[in-house]
Amino acid sequence: MRLLLAEDDAALRAQLAAALEAAGHAVDVAADGVDAQHLGAVEPYDAVVLDLGLPGRDGLAVMRAWRAAGIATPVLVLTARSTWQEKVLGIDAGADDYLAKPFQIEELLARLRALMRRAAGRAAADLECGSVRLDPRSCKVSVAGSEVALTGHEYRVLALLMHHAGRVVSRGELAEGLYAHGDDRDSNTIDVFIARLRRKLPADFIVTVRGLGFMVGGGA
């Protein structure tokens, strides 16, 4: 999944970015509200981690601008202010969840997983298609109960396909979800990762839809 992390504290931003990347996500970062609002408006994210106390433009204003523009990306708000009034303001501005500082990284990751599950209309934590199971908590994949070793990029491609099971995901979408902002997003490399995954997963698990992209769980 591709995430936006907007946090002005440099040390916390680096710590969170490292944890999110270790959890298998591509992460873009913003240190102020102006950059955060711009990135959230022009880049396709699966979720946003947004600090309310951003310089330049505060998190509430950023969220209101996104929601007014019709951007429905799930937002997890971070704040050092934990009063119930602040929580109400954040939720009314468009936040999907709220986490007060200080917090445990594991809780943030769990809340993000829950946000993305709800956005995809899923209740279970694991992603399952046929005999293939992906556990986003441990970043492990198994086929018929046997663990399959994947590289980081292979895992991200598979996670994106399984997160959107039943619909076609284009090469461009996969490239957007695989690489952070500013990286060289060569969609041709997606074919390399798809070929590697096909050697490790059941035959015909990943279906090519000619001219459109790839799909899992489509009954093909």
Decide: 84 and 28 in contact? Cβ < 8 Å.
no
**pTM score above 0.75:** no
Judge whether residue 88 has pLDDT over 50: yes
Q: How confident is the model at residue 173 (pLDDT cuts 50, 70, 90)?
A: confident
Q: How confident is the model at residue 220 (pLDDT cuts 50, 70, 90)?
A: very low
Q: For residue range 64-86, what is the model confidence (pLDDT) as tens digits?
A: 999 999 998 999 999 876 666 67
Higher pLDDT, 49 or 135: 49
- The torsion of the CA quartet 79, 115, 207, 139, rounded to 10 degrees, works out to 70
Judge whether residue 203 has pLDDT over 60: yes
For the chain, domain boundaries: 2-119, 127-215
First to last CA, the chain: 24
Going from the C-alpha of 67 to that of each of 62, 72, 104, 159, 210, the distances in angstroms are 9, 6, 28, 27, 35
Q: What are phi and psi of 80, to 5 degrees?
A: -85, -10
Decide: 207 and 219 in contact? Cβ < 8 Å.
no
Quote the crossing angle between the two packed helices 152-163 and 188-200, to the nearest 10°.
90
Decide: 33 and 7 in contact? Cβ < 8 Å.
no
Q: Is the dihedral of CA 157, 213, 38, 53 positive or negative?
A: negative
Q: Is the dihedral of CA 111, 115, 117, 121 positive or negative?
A: positive
Is 127-215 assigned to CATH 1.10.10.10?
yes
The topology under which CATH files domain 2-119 is Rossmann fold (3.40.50)
Q: Write down the H helix ranges in 69-213.
A: 84-93, 105-119, 152-163, 171-178, 188-200
